[in-house]
Structure 1
Amino acid sequence: MAATKTIVKRTVRPNSKKKKKDTEMPEKFWIGIGILAGIVLLVLYIELFVDKPKSVWPEGHNVYGVDVSHFQKKVDWIKVRENQVSFAFIKATEGVTLHDKNYEQNWEGAGAAGIIRGAYHFYLPYLKPEQQASHFISKVKLLPGDLPPVLDVEVKGKKSTEQLRKDLKIWLDKVENAYGTKPIIYTSYKFYTDYLAGHFNGYHLWIAHYKIPKLNLEKNQYTKLAFWQHTDNGAVEGIEGRVDCNVFYGTMRDLRSVCIKEEE
């Protein structure tokens, strides 16, 4: 009797690993496409709808500075220097008695950071110019390499324009005799054009005028325009809160030529 052959059917199972790989590839592909699309949309949103911070410095200038007083509290001058600041004007005195409480700290800090320094006096027109000049001279020691002393005049007071000019000249002359260099005059654009223009030729000017792309004042042989305070609302790393920002009309070499010279 012949043996009966048993036929065993084998079930061929699909390769589960291959199937899983085939399904994973399209998922990763579409996830990648989705991420890329999200990045593109984010970039477009930022470009079109997000206000990007503007440079604190106006175009066309590359020598930058700040001016400070005790209102800026403790300044980190090393950080200020690292943020492109090359010069600083520091409040020293006001009237005949006020001495800025942070003057020495700011003066030493700016110098140690390698920033070119200048000191300024806030002028009060109802006080005697001789006394105001003496007050400034008693508090401020300037050395070669420092910027000339600064007369900050912003208020006319009740005096006539002619008398104001005479008083300012008294302050300027006394301070020039004390330091051997002509002071810088700081004022606003309107104050300058209303009261000072044409009467103080020969003095370097530091003019404040905000929210304009360019100062409407030309530098020439009569108008020695040197500095422009273009904002009182600037932000510079190392200074807490807002600060006045300035630019110099010229190069670093030009700026150093304005500074006090060594005595010959």
Structure 2
Amino acid sequence: MARRAETSPEARPATALPLQAFAAAVLGLLCAGPALALYPKKGDASPHAGVRDARQRSIQGIDISRWQGEIDWAKVKDAGTRFAFIKATEGGDHLDPMFKKNWAEAKKAGVPRSAYHFVYWCRPAKDQVRWFKRHIPRDPDALPPVLDVEWNGESEKCGKKIPREKALAKIREMLKGLQEHTGKKPIIYTDITFHEDVLEGEFNDHPYWLRSTAAPLKHRYERKQWEFWQFTTTGRVPGISGDVDRNAFFGTEHEFSAWRDGRYDIGARKWRGGESKVATTPKPPATPAGLRTPKAAGNTPLKFAPPGKIPRSAQARDVATTGSIARD
């Protein structure tokens, strides 16, 4: 195939570069506009154009651990934070030292929150189930818990990968334990490598929280749907000093609210008991025999327009409508 000739910057007309710069600036504003309008108080120390779709999602939140230090949850809430994933436990013997405080203060500020457990592959699943049952509260107001599954490459003791089937068996046991403990279907957090090595095609009825900080999820994962997207590790949010991970929810306000109430399964994308219906005005009772008006109105015969004669105004109208939490 013939290669199209390229023109060097020196050979371009003098007006080409300013025009291109202006066009790029306009395009940047158009791409960033919706996100800025939704969350004007939030930012990113190192924004990436590859995740602009996540920034335009209307429901966004954060994930935090002790590394964020003291948090002013009232300011976090005021910035528009809709949910928070809070680190609780790790392996079979570690409790995040800020978990209890963050858990209580997030609730006090009115930020819906979820607790997450970071898996150690060198620890038996039963030990980890025992540990997170001991420390993750059974709070009916809390969001479903999260099981964080990724390879612990930075750990000297638990950095070794294990066979896929063994990893899946551990995950099944811990998902079961989390659901039994909280009464809610757990969310699975993972990254690109672990998903490719272990999770492709597995646990498809569970909500997935996926990490990609430089490209759309569809370019990084062999997965048709997602529920949460961790799109940056360099986010800036009032009430938190320094970097914080920012996340986006896949769906609508109605779906988010129904998921919180237990009426919508976001992993299976199914309504429990059917989707809520919009209330309609009840029909008035029919006149006697459906043919005549009441006597008080003269008892005159009713006349009906044939379907083709219904006024146009009364006809129906169409209505449009890369970082990781492992280090934490």
The normalised TM-score by structure 1 is: 0.73
Give runs of aligned pairs for residues 224-239 of structure 1, distance below 5 A: 225-239=226-240
87-96 or 170-179, which deviates more: 170-179
C-alpha spacing 1:224/1:134, structure 2 compared with 1 (3 Å): farther
What is the RMSD computed on CA atoms of the aligned residues?
Answer: 2.7
Distance between the aligned counterparts of 1:144 and 1:224, measured in 2? 27
1:195 aligns with 2:191: no
C-alpha spacing 1:194/1:150, structure 2 compared with 1 (3 Å): same
- 1:170 Cα shift? 0.8
1:150 aligns with 2:146: yes
Instruction: Indicate which of 217, 220, 238 corresponds to 1:215.
Output: 217
Distance between the aligned counterparts of 1:190 and 1:217, measured in 2? 13
Residues 55 and 248, structure 2, Cα contact 8 Å, conserved in 1? no
Deviations 1:78-121 (A, max 9, x none): 11111111100000000111000100111111111111100000
Give runs of aligned pairs for residues 21-100 of structure 1, distance below 5 A: 55-56=43-44, 58-100=54-96
Residues 234 and 245, structure 1, Cα contact 8 Å, conserved in 2? yes
Tell me which amino acid in the other structure corresponds to 2:248: V
Q: Which blocks of at least 5 consecutive residues in structure 1 are unaligned?
A: 1-46
- 1:140 Cα shift? 1.1
**Larger radius of gyration, structure 1 or 2?**
1
- 1:65 Cα shift? 0.4
- Three-state SS of the structure 2 residue aligned to 1:158 is coil
Residues 144 and 259, structure 1, Cα contact 8 Å, conserved in 2? no
Aligned residues: 211
Higher fraction of strand: 1
Residues 144 and 185, structure 2, Cα contact 8 Å, conserved in 1? yes
Residues 192 and 220, structure 2, Cα contact 8 Å, conserved in 1? no
**Counterpart in the other structure of 2:118:** 122
- Three-state SS of the structure 2 residue aligned to 1:170 is helix
1:111 aligns with 2:107: yes
**Counterpart in the other structure of 1:20:** none
Q: Which blocks of at least 5 consecutive residues in structure 2 are unaligned?
A: 1-23, 37-42, 45-51, 153-159, 264-328
Percent identity over paired residues: 34
171-180 or 90-99, which deviates more: 171-180
The normalised TM-score by structure 2 is: 0.59
**Counterpart in the other structure of 2:260:** 259
C-alpha spacing 1:223/1:137, structure 2 compared with 1 (3 Å): farther
Residues 202 and 224, structure 1, Cα contact 8 Å, conserved in 2? no
- Three-state SS of the structure 2 residue aligned to 1:101 is coil
**Counterpart in the other structure of 2:170:** 167
